[in-house]
């Protein structure tokens, strides 16, 4: 991590993404979306988005094509568990490919 | 629910890559609390999991200004911020003190009671993960009876959870509400409401905690929902003394179809040592509290 400077007289943190690093590294399971089952993609309009609603990390982008920021997704599996049509599968991360 | 979704503030106030555990109920609940309160909010908090989420100096993932204080002074520090803002004529800023159950039920009660009695114009959010979690799952007075913690490893906790909400209710607050991250819309709406009210507003957020309670990270939402379905957690608000069930608890109160508490307890590792006697006691305790709420709603 690059060193950050604080010009304040009292200790004051500044806002930064990845405060705990690239938390995608924590994952042992990766969420993979099956577009053929995902409701907004199928209906071609904003709908459902329960994965966006329930993601504790706020890394799901709600759109016609739902996207997950895998750089920071911690792999908790909540999105897959709560997805009504079960469009998300949790797939093992293959560490040997890193 | 989808229609309601579009009414939510789309902006996020927590940048990804925080220190909180996978599947943390607090991360989810706090995400919606900040969405509801928006900019022009100041947070003050003591040591706790939320303090960990707020990051290590000199970085923070949270885009809302936050002051770190000590356990005994959470609400007092909020009162100081409120007084400072008043002196500067910035009375439209929302001040929110946040602490865990340990920091509220055990260590912050005196300053909180004092601020509430004085009617300090702030929101106090207690997030209740039912233990001293960031220090390694020690028991608190919010831990339910029958739970294994690192300080109740053999016999489990022998005492029932302290009814802290009742203590806060005794302060005759303009607003008191319970929320759960498993019901983000209900949670969001209550924070929006609390923001508009003057005086001391108390919000109690139950936060399922996968490592502390012993359940899989994917089951955070389901665990929070089961707590409500069984009446272990009751969603309501009390506005100037008027009690009202909300959301799923309202439906359960109308239909009278609560599930037995075992449906909630059996899915969590922390209750693995509970015996049948404790189970019956727990059911009776939950039933008793539920009846109190029903009477309160009818009054
Ligand atoms: C005066 C004081 N005593 C003890 C501690 C150590 N400590 C830090 S966090 C914590 C647990 C707080 O529990 P809770 O308020 O429930 O928050 P949680 O960790 O569960 O989020 C303790 C005991 C401290 N920081 N200061
Ligand atoms: S919850 Fe499932 S169906 Fe709904 S938007 Fe997300 S991936 Fe698509
Ligand atoms: S696995 Fe967890 S962190 Fe990753 S996108 Fe799904 S809910 Fe969010
Ligand atoms: S210990 Fe529990 S409350 Fe604390 S960060 Fe982890 S999951 Fe969240
Ligand atoms: Mg706690």
CB B235 within 8 A of CB B180: yes
List Cβ neighbours of A95 (8 Å cut-off, separation of 6 or more): none
Kindly report the nearest CA distance between residue B155 and chain A, in angstroms: 31
CB B51 within 8 A of CB B45: yes
- Residue A9 pLDDT class (50, 70, 90 cuts): confident
Mind listing the pLDDT tens digit for each residue in A33-70?
999 999 999 999 999 999 999 999 999 999 999 999 99
B92 C-alpha to center of ligand 3: Å?
Answer: 35
- Residue A96 pLDDT class (50, 70, 90 cuts): low
ipTM over the 0.85 cut-off: yes
Mind listing the pLDDT tens digit for each residue in B65-92?
999 999 999 999 999 999 999 999 999 9
Mutation for B interface: A54, A56, A85, most B CBs within 10 A: A56
Test site for ligand 2: of A62, A83, A84, most ligand atoms within 8 A of the Cβ:
A83
User: Would you state the pLDDT for residue A1?
Assistant: 57
Does the CB of A42 have a partner CB in chain B at under 8 Å?
Answer: no
Residue of minimum CA distance from atom 4 in ligand 4: B49
Residue of minimum CA distance from atom 8 in ligand 4: B24
User: Would you state the pLDDT for residue B1?
Assistant: 46
Mind listing the pLDDT tens digit for each residue in B99-108?
999 999 999 9
Identify the structural domains of chain A with CATH numbers, from first to last.
23-92 (3.30.70)
- For the domain spanning B15-298, the CATH number is 3.40.50.970
Boundaries of every domain in chain B: 15-298
- According to the 3-state scheme, what is the secondary structure of B195-212? HHCCCCEEEEEECCCHHH
Burial of B91 (0-12, 13-18, 19+ CB in 10 A): exposed
Contact A16 B59 (CB under 8 A): yes
Mean pLDDT across the stretch B125-132? 99
């Amino acid at each position: 991590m690059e060193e950050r400077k604080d010009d304040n007289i009292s200790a004051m943190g500044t806002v930064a993404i990845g405060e705990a690093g690239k938390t995608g590294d924590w994952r042992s399971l990766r969420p993979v979306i099956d577009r053929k089952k995902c409701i907004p993609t199928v209906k071609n309009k904003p709908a459902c988005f329960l994965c966006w609603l329930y993601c504790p990390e706020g890394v799901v982008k709600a759109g016609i094509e739902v996207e997950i920021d895998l750089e920071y997704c911690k792999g908790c599996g909540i999105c897959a568990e709560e997805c009504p049509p079960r469009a998300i599968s949790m797939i093992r991360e293959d560490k040997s490919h890193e | 629910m989808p229609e309601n979704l579009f009414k939510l503030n789309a902006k996020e106030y927590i940048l990804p890559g925080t220190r909180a555990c996978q599947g943390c109920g607090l991360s989810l609940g706090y995400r919606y609390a900040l969405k509801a309160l928006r900019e022009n909010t100041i947070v003050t908090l003591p040591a706790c999991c939320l303090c960990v989420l707020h990051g290590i100096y000199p970085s923070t993932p949270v885009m809302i200004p936050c002051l770190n204080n000590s356990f005994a002074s959470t609400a007092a520090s909020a009162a100081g911020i409120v007084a400072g803002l008043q002196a500067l004529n910035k009375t439209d800023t929302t001040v929110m003190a946040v602490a865990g159950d340990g920091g509220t039920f055990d260590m912050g009660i005196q300053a909180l009671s004092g601020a509430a009695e004085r009617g300090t114009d702030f929101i106090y959010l207690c997030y209740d993960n039912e233990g001293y979690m960031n220090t390694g799952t020690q028991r608190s007075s919010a831990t339910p009876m029958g739970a294994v913690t690192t300080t109740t490893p053999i016999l489990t906790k022998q005492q029932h959870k302290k009814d802290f909400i009742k203590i806060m209710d005794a302060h005759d607050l303009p607003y008191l509400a319970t929320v759960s991250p498993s019901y983000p819309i209900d949670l969001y709406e209550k924070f929006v409401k609390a923001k508009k009210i003057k005086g001391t507003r108390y919000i109690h957020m139950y936060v399922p905690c996968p490592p502390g309670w012993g359940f899989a990270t994917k089951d955070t939402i389901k665990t929070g929902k089961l707590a409500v379905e069984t009446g272990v957690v009751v969603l309501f608000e009390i506005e100037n003394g008027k009690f009202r069930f909300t959301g799923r608890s309202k439906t359960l109160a109308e239909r009278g179809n609560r599930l037995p508490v075992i449906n909630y307890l059996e899915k969590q590792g922390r209750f693995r040592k509970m015996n049948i006697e404790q189970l019956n006691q727990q059911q009776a305790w939950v039933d008793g509290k539920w009846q109190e709420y029903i009477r309160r709603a009818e009054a």
